[in-house]
Structure 1
Amino acid sequence: MGYRVVVVGATGNVGREMLNILAERQFPVDELAALASRRSLGTEVTFGDKTLTTKDLDTFDFTGWDMALFAVGSEATKVYAPKAAKAGCVVIDNSSLYRYDPDIPLIVPECNPEAIHGYKNKNIIANPNCSTAQMVVALKPLHDRARIKRVVVSTYQSVSGSGKEGMDELWDQTKAIYNPTTDVPPKKFQKQIAFNVIPQIDVFMEDGSTKEEWKMVVETKKIVDPSIKVTATCVRVPVFVGHSEAVNIEFEEFLDEDEARDILREAPGIMVIDKREDGGYVSPIECAGDFATFISRIRQDSTIENGINLWCVSDNLRKGAALNAVQIAELLGREVLKKG
């Protein structure tokens, strides 16, 4: 016996990935509804070998449905998620709207699965930011062994993190560079993204950090441990899919790089590829379409007493968004709803 599942925002990048991953992982679905806004109403999407026609989010009745995976912006989520939750449908939300609500669990199943029972507070579960999700998968097993004091992370985030418009802008600007008669000024990003890097993701805050950087700090504390100090610099790079992160970790206890490598090899959701030779690491183009979070370049930091450096890469549309949401749905079904 399976579940009645709704995917909200089924025509977007993340919504389509949710449908793909639900099918790939053979999630027990008895019935699936693909919802979209009225401007995308009637668009066809695929779910395994089935073709679904999107239904109108505005008029949809969530009564009797088990769970809804939301892949729309915060404004739409603010309107429709409470309606779904009130109707008894558990919401798994990919937007930032509920991540910082103390009554709503923020979950990465490899890190804090026990938090799933907190869904009962509001019938809503939050999915973390894409850059946070892959990092905490690597941090948690190391924290369990040697307790993390401080994390310094620099991210190299792909344009798909900003949606289809960001991907289109990189593509159009790249073509325009080879066609001097065409000019494609930045619209989605603050500066030209083609052949460039932009050290700003989201808006600036009073302390000089960007909101993306703030999200990584707050979400890491909520998911892993509130005592961990985090400082982040988030950078948009001209890559279509796949976020990369250079992570420096300071521990309370000494952790040898070889032991750290062994711990990560055994940790759920992680694939260690770490050879000290040319190309013996993973780059974002190699992780696209994969479920794993890839860890490379594990090495001691000799500038502090108990430090490790590592390189972390993941498909941001998958582990950073859709995959994590589906994993939460699996956890919810396994631990709480338990049908069949």
Structure 2
Amino acid sequence: MTDIRRVAEVAGVSTATVSRVINNTGPVNAKTREKVQQAIIELDYRPNKLASSLRQKETRIVGILQTDHSTHFSSIFADAAEDTLFNHGFTTIMSNTYGERMMEEEQIEFLLDMRVGGILLRPFKDTSHIPSLIQRLEKANVACVLVESYPVDPLQFHANLNNVQGGHIAIQHLLEQGHRSIGMLLPFEPWHTEGPHDLRLAAVQHAIAKFPEPVELHIKRHNAKDQVAFGFEATRSLLEASPEITAIFGTTDLLAAGALHAAQEMNLSVPTDLSIIGYDDSYVASSMHPRLTTVSQPITALGEATGKLLLSIIEDPAIPPRSVSISNILKVRDSTGPARTS
């Protein structure tokens, strides 16, 4: 295997000069630099950047730690963050926690052993341990940005999608279409009181309270793993108990898809008899018939913003903590329309 000594020998320079060329850490005249670069090409030399970084006790490596990289949200987020970091000279290590606290701790230990310069962390749902974790990372001089972590602590760096704004644009669309009796489907979030779905619900309740006309909101919550099945059953239950409902808002596209299946089984026309709106803008939304109106989450923008925030902390560890909040976009498709008249 070619090493730095062999490169120096072929180029006719010292190993220190080769190191300066590779790491761009000191002045080297153009002719000498060209000789070293030519030797590197001829010998197909690949510097061991990790070994070098460990010697220097710092790396241009960043960890991206999520519960599951295989999901639609996680994969798009990780790709965007990785591209942003790569364009600034950083390599990323992807790790999964599978929503387990112990796995999260083990992966963080691994990343610290690798001398990472920073970590993008989407923690599992119980975030009570986060303040102590952040203190530990600060002592290790490792920058950290929490992603989609709730509640948002002003003493930590956060990057989130704006769930309040997302809930608001969804309900505002339905109100503008004349809907005054609306069903809402969302999961329970027992691990905290300021999770994304609760924030969307709070936005809906606030908009209805401020609206000049009476609006009825019928809420169904669940702990079900199968969101489509719950959306189906909950919609049937709501419509049987309150047939005056003219719209359903599911806080995920899967819940809205279940609502659409229920409407079709009950021989209701969507959107003539029942409008349905989802949240996420996943592949489900555009593949349904009719296509789902939904709140589109700009996940790529979140990944880019998160990567840039982490880079700014690495560059200047003294900057004060702040949060980045990305606004969502309403995608109006075929599943919503004017409220039916009695």
- So what's the TM-score if we normalise by structure 2? 0.37
Point out the structure with the larger helix share: 2
Which structure would you say has the larger Rg?
2
Point out the structure with the larger strand share: 1
